[in-house]
């Protein structure tokens, strides 16, 4: 009987037992062959090799596959508007003459650097366009790309942001290197707040990747030689979150605000968007412009489109006044609800409520005239009273605000008069009235008890202000006075 057994396993014990049993043992030690040695080595190494392979595969997959991806990850995705110029021109951007002039002037620096150099003027490095959404910032940049005779590199702020730290910075470097190669050139960074946000000293809030990207941007904007001729144009809705270092002279040294359009500009924007559409004789864009305070360029474009859709639905090619009227209601209130969902007594209540608004508006000398009252449900509202200012206002007097409060509460007051009780229909009115009254007291200094103090709400400058105000700069005592004053204003308005 012959067997092979590793020495480690056999050991003394086995030998002892074999001897005790009187077995005749004859043993020879065998040196392992080279092949078997290699095999056992491979068994040890195989899992390690597999693991390493797995990691390599994972990291390739994460970076987007392909062998060259690790190197290409940092490349900027700037779209160069050079060969294919956008066909947008300044003709497509209505109004905003001063903004256009400002931006063109900056581009002009690039066309003729020597003239400015002769006068000892240094070309500005950056121009920041700020303003509410939809006022045509991106449009303006596209138009500029179409008009100037220099390369135009366009990127959005968010395209710098990536999962890996350092990629954004590499992209910024690459973008500026590209611009330097093509100089004189314009770099346009849309929605710059994605990378330009204020850096935090707070460890919990810090974001390495964004900070590195921002630091790189700061360095690049400072670093390039002014003679090279690169101008950075940027746009944002949230200038208040931008890092202060970004806004200092030498970086974005020019800020252009693009506000909501005024009545004349609204008219011009409507004209631009009605180009190529046939308007009926009764369609009056001036009236539409007058009725749309607070609309942005994008809202107006949408309104014109809604009017055209409505005409097309009725198989007409000419847009009439009615189309604009309907489109306006639709944009403002939402889709009109065709189904007759209200109970008769509900409809009576809504009619009473809206009549209340209308009567108070008619009787308040400072309030805007009533344009239209409707009790056809649309969107969230059951009815609405629409007031249109005679002239566009830029300043609101105290009497105007008080009358506005009264009009807001007129609906509920009418319900109280007619039915002896209020309903849930006034919730929106009350919320609006409370917001106005709170602002009157807290921001505009219109409360005799609080005196001429104003606490800015500190919310986003151009975006809708949320209700939440974190951290009050005044005491609880002041808050109590504010609450009382708000209640007083609204109660007086109701009376």
Size of the site for ligand ADP (CB under 6 A): 18
Q: Does 411 bind Zn ion (CB under 5 A)?
A: yes
For 460, other C-beta atoms within 10 Å of its C-beta total 15
CB nearer to Zn ion: give 178 or 429. 429
| Cα–Cα distance, 250 to 126 (Å, whole number) | 8
Q: Of ligand ADP, Mg ion, Zn ion, none, which one does residue 429 interact with (CB within 5 to 8 Å by kind)?
A: Zn ion
Q: List b or e across 149-174, with b for residues whose CB sees 16 or more CB atoms inside 10 angstroms.
A: ebbbbbbbbebbbbeeeebbbbbbbe
Which of these ranges, 40-48, 135-143, 211-219, 407-415, lies near ligand ADP under the rule CB under 6 A?
135-143
86 burial via Cβ count (<10 Å: 0-12, 13-18, 19+)? middle
Sequence-ordered list of residues with C-beta below 8 angstroms from that of 144, at least 6 positions apart, any chain: 90, 103, 104, 107, 152, 186, 188, 233
Q: Does 269 bind ligand ADP (CB under 6 A)?
A: yes
CB nearer to ligand ADP: give 134 or 383. 134
Q: Does 126 bind Zn ion (CB under 5 A)?
A: no
Least distance between ligand ADP and beta carbon 265 (Å)? 7
Size of the site for Mg ion (CB under 5 A): 1
Residue 178 among the catalytic residues:
no
Which of these ranges, 206-214, 223-231, 396-404, 411-419, lies near Zn ion under the rule CB under 5 A?
411-419
Least distance between Zn ion and beta carbon 359 (Å)? 12
Which member of 94, 169, 361, 401 binds ligand ADP (CB under 6 A)? 94
296 close to 132: Cβ distance less than 8 angstroms: yes
Longest CA–CA span in the chain (Å) reads 127
Torsion angle of alpha carbons 148, 153, 159, 162, nearest 10°? Answer: -160
Sequence-ordered list of residues with C-beta below 8 angstroms from that of 232, at least 6 positions apart, any chain: 125, 126, 127, 186, 187, 188, 189, 221, 252
Q: Which of 178, 220, 354, 415 is catalytic?
A: 354
Which member of 135, 156, 236, 385 binds ligand ADP (CB under 6 A)? 135
For 273, other C-beta atoms within 10 Å of its C-beta total 21
Which member of 138, 154, 364, 438 binds Mg ion (CB under 5 A)? 138
Q: Does 139 bind ligand ADP (CB under 6 A)?
A: yes
β-bridge partners, 187: 153, 232
Which member of 299, 403, 429, 485 binds Zn ion (CB under 5 A)? 429
Which of these ranges, 131-139, 251-259, 311-319, 435-443, lies near Mg ion under the rule CB under 5 A?
131-139
172 close to 161: Cβ distance less than 8 angstroms: no
Least distance between ligand ADP and beta carbon 450 (Å)? 37
Q: Does 81 bind ligand ADP (CB under 6 A)?
A: no
* Alpha helix (H) residue ranges in 63-96: 69-72
What phi, psi does 27 have (nearest 5°)?
-130, 145
Q: Of Zn ion, Mg ion, ligand ADP, none, which one does residue 366 interact with (CB within 5 to 8 Å by kind)?
A: none
Q: Which residue from 304, 281, 359 is spatially nearest to 94, judged by alpha carbons?
A: 304
Least distance between ligand ADP and beta carbon 141 (Å)? 8
Q: Does 301 bind ligand ADP (CB under 6 A)?
A: yes
Least distance between ligand ADP and beta carbon 298 (Å)? 4
Q: Does 138 bind ligand ADP (CB under 6 A)?
A: yes
| Cα–Cα distance, 340 to 285 (Å, whole number) | 32
| Cα–Cα distance, 446 to 270 (Å, whole number) | 37
Which member of 99, 107, 127, 134 binds ligand ADP (CB under 6 A)? 134
List binders of ligand ADP among 316-335 (CB under 6 A). Answer: none
Residues at the site binding ligand ADP, with contacts judged by CB under 6 A: 92-96, 133-139, 235, 269, 272, 297-298, 301
**Binding footprint of Mg ion on the chain (CB under 5 A):** 138
Catalytic center residues = 354
Q: Using CB under 5 A, list all residues that contact Zn ion.
A: 411, 429
């Amino acid at each position: 009987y012959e067997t092979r057994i590793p020495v480690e396993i056999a050991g003394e014990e086995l030998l002892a037992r074999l001897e005790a049993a009187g077995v005749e043992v004859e043993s020879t030690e065998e040196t392992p062959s080279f092949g078997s040695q290699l095999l056992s080595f491979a068994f040890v190494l195989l899992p390690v090799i597999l693991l390493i392979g797995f990691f390599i595969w994972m990291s390739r997959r994460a970076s987007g596959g392909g062998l060259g991806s690790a190197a290409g990850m940092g490349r900027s995705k700037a779209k160069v508007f050079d060969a294919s110029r956008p066909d947008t021109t300044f003709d497509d951007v209505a109004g905003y003459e001063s903004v256009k002039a400002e931006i063109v002037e900056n581009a002009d620096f690039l066309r003729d650097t020597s003239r400015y150099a002769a006068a000892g003027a240094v070309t500005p490095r950056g121009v920041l366009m700020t303003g509410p959404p939809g006022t045509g910032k991106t449009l303006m940049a596209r138009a500029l790309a179409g008009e100037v005779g220099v390369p135009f590199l366009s990127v959005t702020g968010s395209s710098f942001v990536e999962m890996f730290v350092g990629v954004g910075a590499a992209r910024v470097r690459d973008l500026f290197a590209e611009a330097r190669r093509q100089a004189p050139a314009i770099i346009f960074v849309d929605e710059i707040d994605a990378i330009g946000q204020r850096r935090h000293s707070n460890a919990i809030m810090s974001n390495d990747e964004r900070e590195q990207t921002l630091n790189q941007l700061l360095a690049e904007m400072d670093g390039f030689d002014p003679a090279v001729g690169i101008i950075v144009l940027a746009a944002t809705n949230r200038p208040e979150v931008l890092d202060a270092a970004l806004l200092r002279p030498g970086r974005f040294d020019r800020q252009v605000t693009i506000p909501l359009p005024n009545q004349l500009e609204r008219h011009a924007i409507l004209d631009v968007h009605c180009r190529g559409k046939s308007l009926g004789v009764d369609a009056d864009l001036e009236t539409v412009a007058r009725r749309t305070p607070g609309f942005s360029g994008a809202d107006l474009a949408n309104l014109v489109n809604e009017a055209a859709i409505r005409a097309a639905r009725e198989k007409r090619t000419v847009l009439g006044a009615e189309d604009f009227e309907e489109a306006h209601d639709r944009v403002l209130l939402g889709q009109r609800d065709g189904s007759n969902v209200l109970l008769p007594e509900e409809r009576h209540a809504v009619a009473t409520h809206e009549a209340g608004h209308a009567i108070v508006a008619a009787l308040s000398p400072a309030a805007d005239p009533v344009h239209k009252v409707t009790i056809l449900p649309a969107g969230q509202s059951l009815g609405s009273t629409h007031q249109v200012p005679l002239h566009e206002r830029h300043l609101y007097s105290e009497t105007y605000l008080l009358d506005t409060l009264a009009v807001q509460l007129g609906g509920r007051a009418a319900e109280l008069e007619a039915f002896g009780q209020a309903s849930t229909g006034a919730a929106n009115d009350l919320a609006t009235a409370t917001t106005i009254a709170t602002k009157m007291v807290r921001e505009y200094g219109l409360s005799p008890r609080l005196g001429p103090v104003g606490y800015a709400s500190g919310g986003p400058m151009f975006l809708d202000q949320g209700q939440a105000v974190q951290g009050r700069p005044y005491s609880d005592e002041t808050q109590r006075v504010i609450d009382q004053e708000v209640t007083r204003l609204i109660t007086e308005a109701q009376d």
